[in-house]
Amino acid sequence: MNVGSNPIGVAVKKVYLRIDTTTALTFSANIFKFRQSVALTATVGATPKGKETPLGTVTFFDGTTSIGNGTVSSGQASLTTSSLSVGLHSITAKYSGDDKFKPSTSSAQELKVSNPILLIIVVIFLIGGGLWFIATQRKKGTDSRNKRLRDLEPPVQTIPYSANIQKWAIIVGISKYKDESLNLKYADRDAEKVYKLLRAPAGGGFEEDHIKKLINEEATTSGITKALHSFLKKASKDDIVMLYFACHGSPDPERPNNIYLLTHDTDPIDIAGTALPMREIDLSLRENVNAERVVIIADACHSAAICSGVGRRGAGNSAQAINAYLQEVSKAKGDVALLTSAEATESSQEGEQWGGGHGVFTHFLLQGMQGDADGYGQQKDGIVTVGELFDYVRENVIKATNYTQHPAIGPNTFDRSLPISISSSDQTFDAVKT
């Protein structure tokens, strides 16, 4: 019998010395809002680093409780969860190891989930320049019979907001210009609808003296400048400020880096000397506005061209210049939300086919808020969220304009699960029906 190098015929089992590993844990951010998705990433590496990378699984722990697993691929495993409760969490990632690599555990990383009351108190609604605060209120009766009847009623869904938070808005809509060649059809109507929306109890109940509405002849360069620099000084740190512009916007033909809103009294031959420089908005946010939460809605990518019954609010590179400038403006403060009606080189369209006379952008914002956006891309639950609304508006505007207009969201990150409205309420949108 020939047994080669093993003359006694004993079976030989190869034994590998497993390689040490390290595991590092990172988050997409360290502070999250309640029910916001958290992305956890574990990076697993060999020590010393070799040609092969570890395989296997990583289990993520909240303290001693497992919150999910991820498969290691190219040295990384990830997990996305929205199940963490309010408070501080000590998160670790434990690599299981395999035949070649030893297990390892990351150091604990602290992650904070903020109080959901803060999400419910302030409900920011980006709708054609609107900030929505959804609250329903039952009439208080005095006799016991009415009280018994109310007790039998089904509960009303509400999103309460803090009484000490005030809401301020500047609403600008210009269809009629001093130079009639600039006239639009429905920009003033869009702005009026936004104003009614904000004044209605279901739309936040903005006090009349907390809204500066400037329509057509009121929307002069001096009038808007005064509103930006004087009116907005009244807002305190915890208040909400909304700016809505439905008008022309344009670079100076002679100085294309200088961007302007074309006010009612703008002379198109002398834009630099008569229009409102957009830097005035930036200056106001930086020096006059104490409020930390600001929403800017700009439907200002306009031109005066009218063809086939459809007006166009914007042309050429105006949208690109306006969007780029407003994105920089939105970075002036910590929490500025920006929504514009069109992307670069596009026009913001208006026509009778949209709600009997609206900009297509505002039309679908209103429709989405009235409940059409509820469940858009997911199951209906009676609540319209920011993610649902933006997806609904963007996709419907794109389709309605045959892929010629794409609403654009600013660079700041939003919580897609943030509630916007209660779509099951029959009385929520009486003031804004189109």
Q: Does the pLDDT of residue 419 top 70, yes or no?
A: no
- The mean pLDDT value of the chain amounts to 74
- Residue found under tokens 């006379």: 357
Q: How far apart are alpha carbons 391 and 384 in whole angstroms?
A: 11
Task: Tell me the percentage of the chain whose pLDDT exceeds 90.
Answer: 25
Contacts 24+ apart (CB under 8 A), 137-142: 137/201
Q: Does the pLDDT of residue 340 top 80, yes or no?
A: no
Residues whose CB is less than 8 angstroms from the CB of residue 378 and which lie 6 or more positions away in sequence, other chains included? 388
List the structure tokens of 428: 């929520």
State mean pLDDT over 323-334: 56
For 230-361, strand residue ranges (E) read: 240-246, 248-252, 255-262, 276-277, 293-299, 306-307, 310-313, 335-340, 348-351, 358-359
Q: How far apart are alpha carbons 91 and 104 in whole angstroms?
A: 14
Closest CA to 340 of 417, 271, 232, 259: 259
Q: How far apart are alpha carbons 57 and 69 in whole angstroms?
A: 7
Count of Cβ atoms closer than 10 Å to residue 37 Cβ: 14
For strands 276-277 and 335-340, give the pairing.
Answer: unpaired
For 139-292, strand residue ranges (E) read: 167-173, 211-215, 240-246, 248-252, 255-262, 276-277
Task: Tell me the percentage of the chain whose pLDDT exceeds 70.
Answer: 67
Alpha helices in 87-208 (DSSP H): 116-121, 144-152, 187-199
pLDDT band at 83 (very low <50, low <70, confident <90, very high): confident
N residues, the chain:
434
Residues whose CB is less than 8 angstroms from the CB of residue 306 and which lie 6 or more positions away in sequence, other chains included? 185, 312
Look at 14-28, 114-128, 250-264, 317-331 and tell me which has the smallest mean pLDDT: 114-128
Terminal Cα distance for the chain, rounded? 96
Q: Which residue has the higher pLDDT, 286 or 42?
A: 42
pLDDT band at 384 (very low <50, low <70, confident <90, very high): low
pLDDT at 223: 97
Q: What angle do CA 359, 213, 398 make, to 5 degrees?
A: 20
pLDDT band at 215 (very low <50, low <70, confident <90, very high): very high
Q: How far apart are alpha carbons 84 and 122 in whole angstroms?
A: 21
Q: Say which amino acid occupies 179.
A: D
Predicted TM-score (pTM) of the model is 0.57
Burial 190-222 (b: 16+ CB within 10 A, else e): bbbbbbebbbbbbbbebeeebbbbbbbeebbbe
Q: Cβ distance 369 to 125 under 8 Å?
A: yes
Q: Does the pLDDT of residue 420 top 70, yes or no?
A: no
Count of Cβ atoms closer than 10 Å to residue 311 Cβ: 22
Contacts 24+ apart (CB under 8 A), 156-160: 156/425, 157/382, 157/422, 157/424, 157/425, 158/134, 158/422, 159/120, 159/123, 159/133, 159/134, 159/135, 159/419, 159/422, 160/120, 160/121, 160/135
State mean pLDDT over 87-114: 89
Q: Does the pLDDT of residue 309 top 50, yes or no?
A: no
pLDDT at 318: 57
How far apart, in Å, are the Cα atoms of 386 and each of 31, 238, 301, 382, 415? 19, 21, 23, 13, 7
Burial 347-369 (b: 16+ CB within 10 A, else e): bbbbbeebbeebbbbbbbbbbbb
Q: How far apart are alpha carbons 390 and 167 in whole angstroms?
A: 22
pLDDT at 293: 74
Half-sphere exposure in the Cβ direction for 321 (13 Å, CA): 22
Q: Which residue has the higher pLDDT, 42 or 157?
A: 42
Burial of 25 (0-12, 13-18, 19+ CB in 10 A): buried
pLDDT at 427: 46
Closest CA to 193 of 121, 244, 120: 244
The phi-psi region of residue 5 (left if phi > 0; otherwise alpha if psi is between -120 and 50; otherwise beta) is alpha
Closest CA to 336 of 165, 124, 160: 124
The helix (H) or strand (E) run that includes residue 387 is helix 386-400
Three-state SS for 274?
helix
Q: Does the pLDDT of residue 65 top 60, yes or no?
A: yes
Residues whose CB is less than 8 angstroms from the CB of residue 148 and which lie 6 or more positions away in sequence, other chains included? none
